[in-house]
Amino acid sequence: MKIEEINALLEDIDLNGQPPSEEPARQYYYLKKCRSYVEAEEKKLGRKLTACVTTFGCQMNARDSEKLSGILEQAGYVLTDSEEADFDIYNTCTVRDNADQRVYGRLGHLNSLKKKNPHMKVALCGCMMQEPGTIEKIRKSYRFVDLVFGTHNIFKFAELLASVFEQKAMIVDIWEGTDKIVEDLPVERKYPFKSGINIMFGCNNFCSYCIVPYVRGRERSRSPKDIIREIEALAADGVVEIMLLGQNVNSYGKNLEEPMSFAGLLREVEKIEGIERIRFMTSHPKDLSDELIEVMASSKKICRHLHLPLQSGSTRILQAMNRRYTKEQYLALVEKIRAAIPDIALTTDIIVGFPGETPEDVEETIDVIKKVRFDNAFTFIYSKRTGTPAAAMENQVSEEVVKEGFDKVLRTVQETAREQVKRLSGLTLEALVEEVNEQDPSLVTGRLSNNTLVHFPGDPSLIGKIVSVYLKEYKGFYFLGEMAGGVPECQKA
């Protein structure tokens, strides 16, 4: 929604009246309230208020942060990357224990900032807050926190923010679950030219190691109409690349009143004018359909990249993980995809150290890595998540054995990925320019359709544009390149 539309909407709201009970109208009522509180505080301090949103998790978590930023900005805050802000919010992740530890570590720092600036407000939200035990710990050891909420009621952020201004005690609002999807709230995108879009929430798969279904709830798909409307608005606002987000996009639409497949949704999205590139995340191998492969193969817009989490190459471990495919099925699927889309880049996630995993199982994983030759793989050490079936398994693997297997898997991934990505050397491909290179400001960084990065000489005016780049030199996971034909006249500043 455009700022003028939001302002017009807020103008008609009477704060002396009762808050509406329906959504999102109720949140707009509270947003207006927040504006008046922020304005009052601005007057007191003689300056604008600042807010900092920190994302700890996956793309879905990052998209939620854009929703939080949208509310904060509309409430009158100036967004900043510095934690020395008037409002700090941590959007947490709990997929592995180290994600939790990072949050607790950084909370100590926020406490010292708040001691210096007692008017500062601190909020926590996201997946970690849905875990039993977290709230108790925060109430006991992190009493300076002003607001805690979870994943199911993030749409209520404006209402919760208003109550932070109204009361001193810590506000805690955690829902067990929800079947609600609230549409049409403000969003502040991180990048003007690309955006994530939630197409579904939650997960029904219950992989035995994974906490996500417990903290994100059951699978719910947004209606195609709402998704298309959102993407059309993004395209009108200058977005050229979109990423459709869900924990298992391949099961999109199954619980809709009028069921629609993910491939069917992609066909609709493809028609939207102005959108040049379509990505999606994540695909569960068990649900990847022939229809999807067909749609990808014939599409001009769907990027040549598929993230297809393997987790393990051992059928025995896959079964214990409740992944519902075998090593052979995974390999056959890869073959089918490569036959239909030869230039596709495949990336994956791998877990090492799942309970009961032996060095022979790790060898099976390594065998799959060598056979598939992933363009990239995220390798994780298994992390025990309380409440999941795997946490109760007796045969947890010792740290040394895990470390050995992990190093071996990582080495294999790096070797095969290097060879795999190198094959593009000497080609001229299209890249979407994302930013000025951090190390060398004379370079810009672009992303190829297959998700590989290329750095090449160029100026900031290229950001958000799709240009042809000659891939001159392979540097291990990324390329140095040159814009083919120099900077086109129309794109010169």
Question: Which spans of this chain sit near ligand SAH (rule: CB under 6 A)?
Answer: 95-96, 209-210, 212, 247-248, 282, 284, 309, 311, 349, 351, 380, 382-383, 385
Q: Pick the binder of ligand SF4 from 27, 65, 247, 261 (CB under 6 A).
A: 247
207 is known to lie in a ligand binding site: yes
Residue 213 interacts with ligand SF4 (CB under 6 A)? Answer: yes
Selected range binding ligand SF4 among 190-198, 208-216, 234-242, 473-481, rule: CB under 6 A: 208-216
User: 146: which 2 tokens?
Assistant: 């002003």
The phi and psi torsions of 296 (rounded to 5 degrees) equal: -65, -45
Comparison of 195 and 251: residue with beta carbon closer to ligand SF4: 251
Contact status, residue 481 vs residue 462, Cβ threshold 8 Å: no
**Start-end of H helices in 151-282:** 157-166, 212-216, 224-236, 262-270
Minimum distance, C-beta of residue 8 to ligand F3S, in the bound complex (Å): 34
Minimum distance, C-beta of residue 354 to ligand SAH, in the bound complex (Å): 8
Minimum distance, C-beta of residue 213 to ligand SF4, in the bound complex (Å): 5
Contact status, residue 468 vs residue 429, Cβ threshold 8 Å: yes
* Partner that binds at residue 217, options ligand F3S, ligand SAH, ligand SF4, none, CB closer than 5 to 8 Å by kind: none
The number of helix segments (H) and strand segments (E) in the chain equals 14, 19
Burial class (CB in 10 A: 0-12, 13-18, 19+), 16: exposed
303 is known to lie in a ligand binding site: no
Comparison of 246 and 446: residue with beta carbon closer to ligand SF4: 246
DSSP annotation of 218: S
CA angle 369, 370, 375 (to 5 degrees): 60
The phi and psi torsions of 427 (rounded to 5 degrees) equal: -85, 160
* Partner that binds at residue 55, options ligand F3S, ligand SAH, ligand SF4, none, CB closer than 5 to 8 Å by kind: none
34 is known to lie in a ligand binding site: no
Q: Sheet containing 376-381: which strands, arranged edge to edge?
A: 305-307, 345-352, 376-381
Residue 450 interacts with ligand SF4 (CB under 6 A)? Answer: no
Residue 248 interacts with ligand SF4 (CB under 6 A)? Answer: yes
Interface mask toward ligand SF4 for 151-190; x: CB under 6 A: ----------------------------------------
Q: Which residue is nearest to ligand F3S (CB)?
A: 57
What DSSP string runs through 340-383? H-TT-EEEEEEEE--TT--HHHHHHHHHHHHHH--SEEEEEE--
Binding residues for ligand F3S, per CB under 6 A? 57-58, 60-61, 93-95, 127, 212, 215-216
Contact status, residue 351 vs residue 311, Cβ threshold 8 Å: yes
DSSP annotation of 190: S
Alpha-carbon 391 to chain mean position: 25
C-alpha 110/C-alpha 69 separation (Å) is: 19
Q: Is 52 helix (H, G, I), strand (E, B) or coil?
A: strand
Minimum distance, C-beta of residue 376 to ligand F3S, in the bound complex (Å): 17
DSSP annotation of 396: P
> Which amino acid appears at position 393 of this protein?
M
Residue 350 interacts with ligand SF4 (CB under 6 A)? Answer: no
* Partner that binds at residue 213, options ligand SAH, ligand SF4, ligand F3S, none, CB closer than 5 to 8 Å by kind: ligand SF4
Comparison of 219 and 364: residue with beta carbon closer to ligand F3S: 219
Number of CB atoms found within 10 A of residue 54's CB: 16
490 is known to lie in a ligand binding site: no
User: Per the annotation, where are the binding residues?
Assistant: 58, 93, 127, 203, 207, 210
Question: What is the binding site for ligand SF4 (CB under 6 A)?
Answer: 203, 205-207, 210, 212-213, 247-248, 284
User: Per the annotation, where are the binding residues for [4Fe-4S] cluster?
Assistant: 58, 93, 127, 203, 207, 210
